[in-house]
Amino acid sequence: MSNDLGRGSEWRKPLRWLLLSVMPCFGLFCTWFWGAFSGGLDARETCELLEGQTYDSAYREENWQEPSRLFPLHNKCNASYDLVPAWINPTIVCLAVATAGCLITAVVMTATHSRLKRRLRRVPEHL
C-alpha cells in the first residue's frame, strides 16, 4: 500500500473545497450589497424620480423595520412596488446554500483525509 494520499480526483483535497467556498461567499456578499443599497440613500427620491412610483409615507411608517432587515431584503415604495429586485433574495439563498455545501464538504474531506492518513501510518508496507 502506498502512502500517496493524492490518488483519485483533485476534488478530494479539503483545501480545494475551502477555496471553492470563497467564490459563492463573495457572490453572496456582492448580491446582498446590491440588494441592500438598491433603493439609494433617499427612498422617496428614488421611488418618485427614478422609478415613477408613488411614495406611500403611511405604508413606510407602518413597516419601518423592513428596509433595515438583513434578510429578506425589502425597500418598498408602497404596498405593491419594491425597490429591491425580485432576483436578489432567491440568489442570496442559493449562494448561501452553495457556500455552506462547500464548507461542509471541506470539513468532511478533512476528517476523511486525516482518518486515512492515520490508518496508513499504522499499516506497515509489505513488499
What residues does 76 pair with on adjacent strands? Answer: 82
Kind and range of the H or E run holding 76:
none
Q: What pTM did the predictor assign?
A: 0.79
Query: In the predicted model, is pLDDT for residue 114 greater than 90?
Result: no
Distance CA 119, CA 113 (A): 10
Note the pLDDT of residue 72: 95
- Condensed to tens digits (0 to 9), the pLDDT of residues 8-25 reads 556 678 888 899 999 999
Query: In the predicted model, is pLDDT for residue 81 greater than 90?
Result: yes
Low-confidence winner among 10-14, 81-85, 102-106 (lowest mean pLDDT): 10-14
State percent of the chain over pLDDT 70: 87
C-alpha triplet 8, 4, 115: angle, nearest 5°: 85
